[in-house]
Amino acid sequence: MRTQVAIIGGGPSGLLLAQLLHLRGVDAVVLERQTKAHVLGRIRAGVLEQGLVSLLAEAGCADRMRAEGFVHDGTLLSDGNDMFRIDFVALTGKPVMVYGQTEVTRDLYNARAESGAPTVFCAENVTIHDADTETPHVTYDADGQTRRIDCDFIAGCDGFHGVSRKTIPADKRQEFEKVYPFGWLGVLSETPPVNDELIYVNAPRGFALCSMRNENLSRYYVQCDASDDVKRWSDDTFWDELRLRLPPDQAAALVTGPSIEKSVVPLRSFVTEPMRWGRLFLCGDAAHIVPPTGAKGLNTAASDVYYLYHALVDFYESGSVGGIDGYSAKALARVWKAERFSWWFSSLLHRYPDQSGFDQKLQAAELSLLRSSEAAQRAMAENYVGLPY
């Protein structure tokens, strides 16, 4: 088989890139290792920046988001006692959209199915060949056969554990990593959210986040040990711990119920440079990971897609290689700002095992500065709603 762009990974990055390219007449094949049900079963991000919202509209995949998503004009921060609000719209003119990654992915899969463009599920042993030549190709196993796709370009959208990044020779890339000494325990429950807006908490017992998917679907997180076993956390243990971290009025208002999903995620910052090797381009989690605090993972994947999509369309429509040659530097400039924000917001809100009294006083002073200073709030809000592409 021959295509213009072989896209490895059918997560949000790969699907969004495929749909945008399709609408501009560029052919792509999406190769996904898992089943569609498996991809749609993952509960991940929930907050979308306006840049991603606009890209979904350009991809023709914004109708359900506009109908069912929730526009949030601000967020709440708490020290575990009381709360203060950061008003995104007053400070930046921009809100954010609360709409789950699962739903974004579902909408993109539906659009792809309607377009009739090819997606291969359960593609095993995906292997990239000759990416540093003008004639790259990809092989994979499906239905007991090895198949080959010849292409002009390869988009590595296969997440942190994919093959794309590892295909780049070790001496041609540099990796930067920070692992945090804690994780997040997340619970999804069919209960009304405790508040109309998200609440980020730095309590004496650790970080907590109250988020949501809709009026009757709540997403809550508490800071836990990085190696914590989810089996150690019964629903009751989770709700009790969450209540202990929330301000008393929110704890009293919390409606609890059975969890429908519960998982532990480690927190990590990671970037690989460059994001291009020959005709292979890395996109999204394949190139970088942020700790989830501030919801930058999916949104940063979206800005990579934006740059790569325009680079490829420029190439096919006008023969220009400027976008392709500039992709890595352009994407990385924005990636590092998202890395900085996610690191800062994580550092502000979590309790560290080795935190000294001095460290804790500084953290409290920083939260207090954010409460009282409009300039500090504006810097936070600009990053949270998303820096320009």
Catalytic residue among 12, 22, 72, 140: 72
Quote the CA–CA distance of 128 and 130 in Å, as a whole number.
Answer: 7
9, 11, 46, 95: which one binds ligand DHB (CB under 6 A): 46
Type of residue numbered 345: F
Query: Is 384 labeled as catalytic in the residue annotation?
Result: yes
- Two structure tokens written together for 382: 């600009």
Number of residues near ligand DHB (by CB under 6 A): 11
What are the Cα distances from residue 344, in Å, to 136, 213, 293, 340, 353?
40, 25, 9, 6, 17
Quote the CA–CA distance of 85 and 63 in Å, as a whole number.
Answer: 30
Residue 101 touching ligand FAD (CB under 6 A)? yes
293 contacts which partner out of ligand FAD, ligand DHB, none, CB within 5 to 8 A by kind? ligand DHB
Residue 194 touching ligand DHB (CB under 6 A)? no
Quote the CA–CA distance of 142 and 130 in Å, as a whole number.
Answer: 21
Per CB under 6 A, which of residues 230..249 are in contact with ligand FAD? none
- The distance of closest approach from Cβ of residue 219 to ligand DHB in the complex, given in angstroms and rounded to an integer, is 4
156 contacts which partner out of ligand DHB, ligand FAD, none, CB within 5 to 8 A by kind? none
- The distance of closest approach from Cβ of residue 98 to ligand DHB in the complex, given in angstroms and rounded to an integer, is 7
Name the residue nearer to ligand FAD (CB basis): 288 or 330. Answer: 288
Quote the CA–CA distance of 109 and 378 in Å, as a whole number.
Answer: 36
Residue 221 backbone phi and psi in degrees, to 5: -135, 145
Of 162-170, 234-242, 271-279, 289-297, which part binds ligand DHB (CB under 6 A)?
A: 289-297
Instruction: Give the side-chain half-sphere CA count within 13 A for 171.
Output: 0
Of 169-177, 227-235, 250-258, 288-296, which part binds ligand DHB (CB under 6 A)?
A: 288-296
Residue 385 touching ligand DHB (CB under 6 A)? no
Mapping DSSP onto H, E and C, the string for 311-376 reads: HHHHHHHHCCCHHHHHHHHHHHHHHHHHHHHHHHHHHHHCCCCCCCHHHHHHHHHHHHHHHHCHHH
247 contacts which partner out of ligand FAD, ligand DHB, none, CB within 5 to 8 A by kind? none
Tokens 């554990």 found at: 161
Residue 183 touching ligand DHB (CB under 6 A)? no
Residue 74 touching ligand DHB (CB under 6 A)? no
Please name which of 365, 39, 50 lies closest in space to residue 202, comparing C-alpha atoms: 365
Please name which of 349, 341, 297 lies closest in space to residue 76, comparing C-alpha atoms: 349
Catalytic residue among 22, 288, 296, 350: 296
Phi-psi map region of 258: left, alpha, beta (phi>0 left; psi -120 to 50 alpha): beta
H helices of 160-283, in order, are: 164-167, 235-245, 248-253
Of 117-125, 227-235, 269-277, 290-298, which part binds ligand DHB (CB under 6 A)?
A: 290-298
Query: Is 361 labeled as catalytic in the residue annotation?
Result: no
Per CB under 6 A, which of residues 271..330 are in contact with ligand FAD? 284-285, 292, 295-298, 301
136 contacts which partner out of ligand FAD, ligand DHB, none, CB within 5 to 8 A by kind? none
Per CB under 6 A, which of residues 141..170 are in contact with ligand FAD? 157-159, 161-163
Residues 344, 346, 14: CA angle, nearest 5 degrees? 95
Enumerate the active-site residues: 72, 200, 292, 296, 384
Q: Which residues form the interface with ligand FAD (CB under 6 A)?
A: 8-14, 31-34, 39, 44-45, 101, 123, 126, 157-159, 161-163, 265, 284-285, 292, 295-298, 301
Q: Which residues form the interface with ligand DHB (CB under 6 A)?
A: 45-47, 198, 209, 211, 219, 292-295
